[in-house]
Chain A
């Protein structure tokens, strides 16, 4: 188990290194940074001064290591647009996105996994068809449509929940539903298919032959095996939610990472884009690593792989 964890850790670190190189290259492939920073009206002399001031006249590997050193200390330089430290910008907005993603993921898992299990156990019945239609509905409604519909029904007409912002916990309810909704179909289908496959296995027949109750057969023997691919998917979905919360954050006027990324991209604010890419990739890598570890705990056969 320890060897497995260490191997996965090495893989995670090498992916992180690759991402950091790409994120660094992103900045330098996008044109002459010195001109961007100095502004359109700067004279060639001013541009050269900026180039020297920012250390852009040094060899690229040196610049990379310098940047990586600072990034490792959570120093991503200053935003071109906000004239503020990138770290401050991000740390201000990160909690909003994390909270939103965590609630949305929990919500979608709590709905999708039991629904998938029920659909598999009652395959071909009304329950299965209902779950599958729910799934189609989930895929067919775009996030922004659902977001707006939720606002109209629950915030404007019923006045149960706030329209926008991040002031109270109630503000997170509608955005989480809108964001989590999008993950439900994939998780549900995977739970259902995994469950169907596992339920046809010989060891399920063995469990039934022991005289175990149907509940125990499904919840112990089948679910433990069927949940394994769902763990990996959930980790990926959480990454998607963090990166993809742009739309939801826009609809509900929440100032999270998604919103910041959107602002930074539209204003060519490279240090911010770079930092957001690096941080989201870092979270993604961490999640995948954790998912591998959880899977190894669930499936003893993986521990040797």
Chain B
């Protein structure tokens, strides 16, 4: 049985201009110990998807799903209290903004031990020991002293390490990392990603990594889901998607990345023309067709995900064309 199964997740945001269909039917499954990367540009619905799994969406945002099952428990019908027992305990989250995601009024130690004290019957001593142990694991020196420091005394990179240690406190089965490196310096980004990958191996956790950086995905993910305008347009093993991208959007994204050895200095990088469509109101057919070089009349119909390989599915009506191009 998969650790996490999501079927037909829909997220709607009522606005003054009509309903915004932020996520329009996302399905995926994740096994224990696996890393799934969800890739997409801003506004593709990837962050909302991650918040929906934790049931942390803002009040006015509506979540519907045929199924969200975590380790056999149905999260669509679970009580608030039942959800709280999972959050921070068996499923934990690392947020995008380490600068603002820690409470300025409490010490690092207080905020680290909190989840453990809340979910387990442990004493302060035990919780503090665990916090020190994990701070050392995430590469923070003088961990004992850090516990007494406040967030404003730490750099962005250190704070994100603290956030990661915080997510690990209860030894979760699943970690959702929502663009964990976006707010950090490039040099720190690589460190943090390696850290997450190492910790995942060491603790055997499943990881959902939300990102817009395909370079990151290639290195750490087992599976990839490419999101566009609230839908998965291509999913598969990291290997399959990177070797043989079939959706024109995925190809566009990959063309934007310089490749060592192949991209020469001065060579123009690829770009995807046009803009992301407005998601308010009803959206028929392929949302990418107004930006797509292969678009034809068949793209206006509803397009299902089509299996193109053992572990590879693509939502495109012009697979014939993209095959030729490949």
Chain A residues packing against B (C-beta within 8 Å): 201-203, 205-213, 216, 221, 224-225, 298-301
Contacts and interface: CB of A to CB of B under 8 A. Distances in A.
A298 B93 CA distance: 27
Contacts of A205: 56, 95, 101
A218 to B, nearest CB: 13
A205 B104 CA distance: 14
A-B complex: 5 closest residue pairs judged by Cβ atoms:
A210-B88, A211-B88, A211-B87, A202-B100, A210-B115
Given A203-B101, A205-B56, A300-B150, A210 B87 contact: yes
27 contacts: A201-B100, A202-B101, A203-B100, A205-B95, A205-B101, A206-B101, A206-B163, A208-B56, A208-B87, A209-B54, A209-B87, A209-B88, A209-B92, A210-B87, A210-B88, A210-B118, A210-B166, A211-B86, A211-B87, A211-B88, A212-B115, A212-B118, A221-B103, A224-B105, A225-B103, A225-B104, A300-B104
A202 B86 CA distance: 20
B114 interface: yes
B211 to A, nearest CB: 18
Contacts of B93: 209
B104 A211 contact: no
Q: By DSSP majority rule, is chain A's interface helix, strand, loop, or mixed? A: helix
A212 B118 CA distance: 7
A158 to B, nearest CB: 44
A206 B102 contact: yes
Contacts of B219: none
A211 B115 CA distance: 7
A222 to B, nearest CB: 9
Interface residues of B, number: 27
Contacts of A299: 104-105
B109 to A, nearest CB: 13
Contacts of B97: 202
A210 B167 CA distance: 8
Given A202-B100, A207-B103, A210-B118, 5 more contacts: A210-B88, A216-B118, A221-B106, A225-B104, A301-B104
A210 B88 CA distance: 4
B130 interface: no
Interface in B60-115: 84-89, 92-93, 95, 97, 100-106, 114-115
A226 B97 CA distance: 21
A23 B86 CA distance: 64
Nearest to B115: A210
Contacts of A216: 118
Q: Chain A CB within 10 Å — which of B97, B106, B150, B166 has the most?
A: B106
Interface in B171-215: none
B307 interface: no
Interface string B243-284: 000000000000000000000000000000000000000000
Nearest to A123: B59
B114 A210 contact: yes
A262 B314 CA distance: 84
Given A205-B56, A205-B101, A210-B87, A301 B150 contact: yes
A147 to B, nearest CB: 39
